Structure 1
C-alpha cells in the first residue's frame, strides 16, 4: 500500500522539482444548496389555500427544468409571522400560527420530487413581530417553530432583519429551545433539524446579528445553525459587486469594534434575484448571460480566510419564485425560470435530493 501512496503524491512532487510542471488543480466544490425562496401568488403572505393543480400550473418549472429533473433542491416558503406563530393564531389567513397557503399538500408537492422544504420565519415586513415575540416568549417561539417543523417535515429559516439593536439574547433563547427539540444533524437526514439564518449580502448591514451568528452559531468546530444565506442586495447587482459582498463574509471586518470574525465558505450561500421589476432577468431566463454563471467559478473555489478548511460556498439561493412583489413580473409559467435556474442546475451538476452538507 505504501507505493500507492507515493504514486498519488508523485505529480505534486514533480511539480515542485521540475521547471514548467504544474500541480493538479484542486477540484471545485460542488454546489450543494441550490434553492429558491417562494412568495406564493400573494406577495409573500400565503394567506389563501392553493389548489395543487393551480399551483403546479404556475410553478412547474421548479420541479421540472425541462427534462423531468427539478430546477432546485430546496424551496423556502416565505414568510411566517413570528408573533402569530407564537400565539398559534387562527384567522382568515392563518391556521395554528402558519399561513394557510403553506399547507401539507404544497409541502408534499415539492418533497415528492426530492426537493427539501423550509419555512422562513420573519422577513423585513415582520421585523416588529420578531421583536415582539422575542420580548414576550422567545423559548416558546422556538418550541412552536420546532413543532411546526416536525408536523410538516420542514426546516426553519430565521429571517430577523432588525438592523438596530436586535434582541440577540432572545434569539439565543429561541435557538436553544428549537435545538432542544431538534438537535443539530450533520447528516441532514431529519428535515426538521435544518435551522438556518439570513444575513445581509455583505458585512455592512445587520452587523450585530451577523457578528453573533458568525462568532457563535456558524462555527465549524461547534455548529449550532446549519448555514447562513447572504441575502440579495436592494436591487440586482453586477457579478463584481456580488463577489465583493460575499467576500466580506469570508474576510470578516477586523476594523469594526467589536470585530466581525471571518465566516467559513462552507457555512453560507449566495443570494441572487430571479424576479425584479417588469423585465425578465438573465438569472431566470438566460443562464449563459447571468450573474450566476459569471460568479460560479468564484463561488465554487472561494478560499477560506481565517475560518473553515475547505474552499467554495455551499451554493446559491434565488429571490424569489412566483410573485414576490406587487410591481414585479414574477416567475410565471409557461417557462418560468427553466432557462436560468434550471439551466444552471444542469451546468453546475446540482444533485436532488440534497445530500449531507460539507461541515468544514
Structure 2
C-alpha cells in the first residue's frame, strides 16, 4: 500500500452510492459457486488517525467504527485478515517511548485490538513501514537490520500476530539489510506452511505491477517467494495512486505472473499462489463501490480472473490468493472513513459471501 500523501492522489469524485444489502451478492455467489474460494481476503487498517495508531482506543467506540469487519450482516466476518498499519521501523529499532509509542510500538496496536479480531477468527498482522517511513526503514536497516528483525519477531510473539514488510524504497533499497531482517525474523519464527502459528506469517508489499519497487520486487521474487524454497508466505500487490479499472488492475497483476525478463537483473515470474491483489475501499474523499456496492465494484469485475489466473513460469496452481483492501477506518487525515454511516459490509462483506471466503483463513496453497 501507499501511505498518506500518495493515497490522496485521486481522480474525480463519483456519485455517492448507497449501502448494498446481501441479495446482489447472493446472485453473484450463485454464479461463481463452482470456483475455488479465495484464501486471503483482508483489509489494511489505519485506526481513526491516518495510520499512526497513536492513541489507545475505547473498545466500544472501536467496535462501532469497525463492526462491519467482524459482521457482514449475518454474523460472519467480512474478512479473514486485518493488517494494522503502520509501525515505524526506526522507532521499533530504538524502542522509542513517547506520546504515541510504547517501546517502539504505536500504543493503539495493543492486545485488546488484536483480541477483538482474533476472537472472531480473523488473523492479525502488523505492517512495518509505509511510504512515510521509507527513510526510517533506510536508517534502521543501515544501522542494524538483524536487530530490527529480532525486535519485529519479539513484537510478533508478544501480541500473537504476523508481520508485513512495507519498505517503499524504489530507487536504492538496502537489500542486504532487508535480508538480515528476514533472516533474523525467520530464526525466531520459521516458515510454517500449515499457517497454524500466527507469528510465522511474514509477508511483503510490492507495487501493483513490476515497474515500481522493482529492486525489492526482483529480490523478493527470486529469493523469498519461490514455491520450491519459500521464505515469505506471500506478497501483496499494493494499490496504485488511484483506483484502477478492472482491465488496468488485471494488467498490473499479470506483470507479476509474467515477470520482467528484459530487466537487469531480470524479475522472475511470481507464482499465483504467492500474491494477493490490492484495491481501494476508501480513497481520499470517496468511499468506493468496493466498500459499499459489490455489484458495481472492481473486485466483482476482476474476481473470476483473480481466482483463475494461470501460472506463467512459476507455480503449478491457478488463482491468486485473494484480495487486500486499502484501508479500513480512516487512512488519511482529511479523507473519508469506513466507519458508520458508511461501513463496508455491502462491498467487502458481500464479496466475502460471493467468493465463499473461508473464515478463519485456511492453510495457504504452496504451489
**Which residue of 2 is the match for residue 259 of structure 1?**
266
Which structure 1 residue ranges, 4+ long, deviate > 3 Å from structure 2?
none
**Which residue of 2 is the match for residue 357 of structure 1?**
364
The 8 Å contact of residues 62 and 72 in structure 1, kept in 2 or not, is answered as yes
CA distance in 2, matches of 1:133, 1:278: 34
CA distance in 1, matches of 2:246, 2:67: 28
The 8 Å contact of residues 58 and 334 in structure 1, kept in 2 or not, is answered as no
CA distance in 2, matches of 1:240, 1:184: 34
Q: 2:108 aligns with which of 101, 121, 138?
A: 101
**Which residue of 1 is the match for residue 83 of structure 2?**
76
1:52 aligns with 2:63: no
Q: 1:151 aligns with which of 155, 158, 161?
A: 158
Q: Shift of the alpha carbon at 1:257?
A: 1.6
CA distance in 2, matches of 1:37, 1:148: 18
CA distance in 1, matches of 2:184, 2:284: 39
Unaligned residue ranges in structure 2 (runs of 5+): 1-33
Residues 182-201 of structure 1 mapped to structure 2, 5 A cutoff: 182-201=189-208
Q: Shift of the alpha carbon at 1:89?
A: 1.1
**Which residue of 1 is the match for residue 289 of structure 2?**
282
Q: 2:145 aligns with which of 131, 138, 141?
A: 138
CA distance in 2, matches of 1:330, 1:54: 14
**Which residue of 2 is the match for residue 295 of structure 1?**
302
Q: Count matched residues.
A: 334
Q: Per-residue displacement from partner, 1:23-49 (whole Å, max 9, x unpaired)?
A: xxxx63320000000000000000001
Q: Per-residue displacement from partner, 1:52-100 (whole Å, max 9, x unpaired)?
A: 1010011100000000000000000000000110111111110111000
The 8 Å contact of residues 37 and 358 in structure 2, kept in 1 or not, is answered as no
Structure of greater Rg: 1
Unaligned residue ranges in structure 1 (runs of 5+): 1-26
CA distance in 2, matches of 1:152, 1:257: 40
The 8 Å contact of residues 28 and 312 in structure 1, kept in 2 or not, is answered as no
CA distance in 1, matches of 2:263, 2:303: 30
1:329 aligns with 2:341: no
CA distance in 2, matches of 1:325, 1:114: 28
Residues 157-306 of structure 1 mapped to structure 2, 5 A cutoff: 157-306=164-313
**Which residue of 1 is the match for residue 99 of structure 2?**
92
Does 286-295 or 321-330 show the bigger shift?
Answer: 321-330
CA distance in 2, matches of 1:280, 1:184: 37
The alignment partner of 1:174 has SS state of: helix
The 8 Å contact of residues 272 and 317 in structure 1, kept in 2 or not, is answered as yes
Q: Per-residue displacement from partner, 1:219-275 (whole Å, max 9, x unpaired)?
A: 000000000000000011100000000000000011112211000000000000000
CA distance in 1, matches of 2:243, 2:188: 38
**Which residue of 2 is the match for residue 34 of structure 1?**
41
TM-score normalised to structure 2 length: 0.90
TM-score normalised to structure 1 length: 0.92
Q: RCO greater where, 1 or 2, for CA within 8 Å and sep 6 or more?
A: 2
Q: CA RMSD in A?
A: 0.8
